[in-house]
Amino acid sequence: MAGVVHSIDELVGHTPLMELDRFERQQHCGAHILAKLEFFNPTGSVKDRAALAMIQAAEQSGALKPGGTIVEQTSGNTGIGLAAFAAARDYRMEIFLERGASLERRLILQAYGARLLDYKDAIGLRPEAERSHPWQEPEREATLAEIAAYCRRTGAYFNNQAANPANPEAHFRTTGPEIWQDAGGNVDVLVCMAGTGGTGSGTARYLRSRNPGLRVVLVQPHPDSRLTPEHPDVQIIDGVLPAYGVPEEELSEYLTPDWSDEYINVRTAEAYATAHDVLHTEGLFLGTSAAAALHAAVQVGQRAEYAGKSIAVILPDNGMKYLSTPMYQQTL
Predicted confidence at residue 134, as pLDDT, reads: 54
Binned at pLDDT 50, 70 and 90, residue 207 comes out as very high
- Average model confidence (pLDDT) across the chain: 92
Predicted confidence at residue 250, as pLDDT, reads: 83
Distances (CA, A) of 29 to 162, 245, 262, 307: 35, 29, 19, 8
Catalytic residue (choose from 201, 252, 289, 310): 289
pLDDT-above-70 percentage for the chain: 93
Q: For residues 294 and 225, what is the distance between their CA atoms, to the nearest angstrom?
A: 17
Neighbour order of strands in the sheet with 189-193: 17-19, 32-37, 310-315, 189-193, 215-221, 262-266
Whether residue 52 has pLDDT greater than 80: yes
Predicted confidence at residue 2, as pLDDT, reads: 65
pLDDT digits (tens, 9 = 90+) for 106-118: 999 999 999 999 8
Catalytic residue (choose from 47, 75, 225, 252): 47
Whether residue 17 has pLDDT greater than 80: yes
pLDDT digits (tens, 9 = 90+) for 213-244: 999 999 999 988 887 767 666 788 877 888 89
- Greater confidence, 2 or 86? 86
**How many other β-carbons are positioned within 10 Å of the β-carbon of residue 23?**
22
Check if 47 is active-site: yes
Predicted confidence at residue 129, as pLDDT, reads: 47
pLDDT digits (tens, 9 = 90+) for 143-155: 999 999 999 999 9
Q: What share of the chain is helix, strand, coil (3-state, %, to 5)?
A: 45, 15, 40
Predicted confidence at residue 309, as pLDDT, reads: 98
Predicted confidence at residue 307, as pLDDT, reads: 97
Predicted confidence at residue 330, as pLDDT, reads: 62
Whether 287 and 328 have beta carbons less than 8 Å apart is answered as: no
Check if 132 is active-site: no
Predicted confidence at residue 137, as pLDDT, reads: 61
